[in-house]
């Protein structure tokens, strides 16, 4: 069942992009276009050494999917006063991170604890929606923000606040982890069969499949904000 946000975007709208190989049609909201063509808080130059308090980096330089964020934090109020970023990603990644930087700094700056609770669907909602196949693009900025805040916790000696993302092994044969399932769902695998095609999870160890299916439902809800049917 399609969400009301996506219906609103798609109604009476011609697709902005048509994949010439698959025929998939993508429609972008006016907000997405605005935040892509006129990105907010995008840093085009290398920052000065003492210009920001912390930096976060996620992705792989080898494949090109890299996201960097720089933060200026008020140590007394723990509000994010400045949020700059840089990536060479697609339109959705640029728009999503641009919006994230606005969310984190508006109204005097968001407090760290609240910023850590920002979810990809919060960003997507403010953008007026994203095509389902592009939801994963809202994740890079979110992860880079957490990486920057973790670095700040370490720099300020607040090691007890560092977020450690653990990943449990689900299938001992293929060494498939919870993180692998999450990544598969982010990349568009929304059924058990699709996840198995990407990860091979449970093919020789069916005992883990009920847990895998539960995780698929959880991550679909987390990143898409609804159950797909």
| pLDDT above 70 as % of the chain | 81
In a domain, 196, yes or no: yes
Q: Are 59 and 97 in contact (CB under 8 A)?
A: no
Is residue 54 located within the same domain as residue 149? yes
Q: Are 85 and 67 in contact (CB under 8 A)?
A: yes
The CATH code of the domain that includes 192 is 1.10.10.1100
pLDDT at residue 2 tops 70: no
Distance CA 32, CA 97 (A): 11
Of the candidates 73, 96, 72, 101, the residue with the CA atom closest to the CA atom of residue 85: 101
Q: What is the mean pLDDT of residues 7-14?
A: 50
Q: Identify the band that residue 166 occupies on the pLDDT scale cut at 50, 70 and 90.
A: low
What range defines the domain where residue 36 resides? 4-160
pLDDT at residue 96 tops 60: yes
What are the Cα distances from residue 42, in Å, to 38, 45, 69, 83, 183? Answer: 9, 9, 9, 9, 26
- What pLDDT is stored for residue 6 in this prediction? 45
In a domain, 56, yes or no: yes
| Angle between helix 209-224 and 178-186 (nearest 10) | 40
- What pLDDT is stored for residue 21 in this prediction? 37
Q: What is the mean pLDDT of residues 29-38?
A: 91
DSSP-derived pairing of the beta strands 169-171 and 25-26:
unpaired
The CATH code of the domain that includes 118 is 3.90.1010.10
pLDDT at residue 63 tops 50: no
Distance CA 200, CA 195 (A): 8
Is residue 117 located within the same domain as residue 212? no
Is residue 15 located within the same domain as residue 63? yes
pTM: 0.70
The single-letter DSSP state of residue 93 is: H
- What pLDDT is stored for residue 13 in this prediction? 57
Residue whose structure tokens are 């809202």:
138
Any idea which residues carry the catalytic annotation?
A: 63, 137
Q: Identify the band that residue 65 occupies on the pLDDT scale cut at 50, 70 and 90.
A: low
| β-pair partners for 55 | 70
- What pLDDT is stored for residue 194 in this prediction? 94
In a domain, 229, yes or no: no
Lowest mean pLDDT among 10-19, 115-124, 189-198, 205-214: 10-19
pLDDT at residue 204 tops 50: yes
Q: Is 160 helix (H, G, I), strand (E, B) or coil?
A: helix
| β-pair partners for 72 | 82
Is residue 72 located within the same domain as residue 138? yes
- What pLDDT is stored for residue 88 in this prediction? 78
Half-sphere exposure of 102 (CA within 13 A, CB side): 16
Cα torsion for 38, 40, 46, 47, to the nearest 10°?
160
Is residue 89 located within the same domain as residue 190? no
Is residue 43 located within the same domain as residue 117? yes
Total domains in the fold of the chain: 2
Phi, psi (rounded to 5 degrees) for 112: -55, -50
Is residue 128 located within the same domain as residue 148? yes
Distance CA 7, CA 70 (A): 35
Is residue 43 located within the same domain as residue 108? yes
Q: Identify the band that residue 111 occupies on the pLDDT scale cut at 50, 70 and 90.
A: very high
Is residue 67 located within the same domain as residue 156? yes
């Amino acid at each position: 069942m399609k969400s009301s946000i996506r219906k609103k975007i798609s109604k009476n709208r011609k697709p902005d992009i048509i994949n010439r190989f698959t025929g998939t049609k993508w429609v972008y909201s006016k907000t997405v276009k605005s935040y892509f063509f006129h990105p907010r808080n995008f840093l085009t130059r290398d920052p000065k050494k003492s210009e920001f308090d912390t930096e976060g980096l996620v992705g792989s330089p080898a494949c090109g999917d890299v996201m960097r964020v720089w933060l200026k934090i008020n140590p007394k109020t723990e509000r994010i006063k400045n949020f700059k970023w840089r990536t060479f990603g697609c339109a959705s990644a640029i728009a999503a991170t641009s919006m994230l930087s606005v969310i984190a700094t508006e109204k005097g700056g968001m407090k760290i604890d609240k910023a850590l609770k920002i979810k990809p669907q919060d960003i997507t909602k403010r953008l007026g929606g994203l095509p389902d196949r592009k939801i994963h693009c809202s994740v890079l900025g979110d992860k880079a923000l957490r990486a920057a805040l973790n670095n700040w916790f370490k720099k300020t000696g607040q090691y007890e606040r560092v977020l450690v993302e653990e990943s449990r092994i689900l299938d001992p044969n293929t060494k498939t982890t919870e993180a692998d399932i999450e990544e598969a769902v982010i990349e568009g695998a929304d059924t058990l069969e699709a996840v198995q095609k990407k990860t091979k999870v449970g093919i020789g160890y069916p005992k883990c499949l009920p847990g895998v299916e539960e995780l698929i439902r959880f991550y679909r809800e987390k990143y898409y904000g609804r159950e797909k049917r």
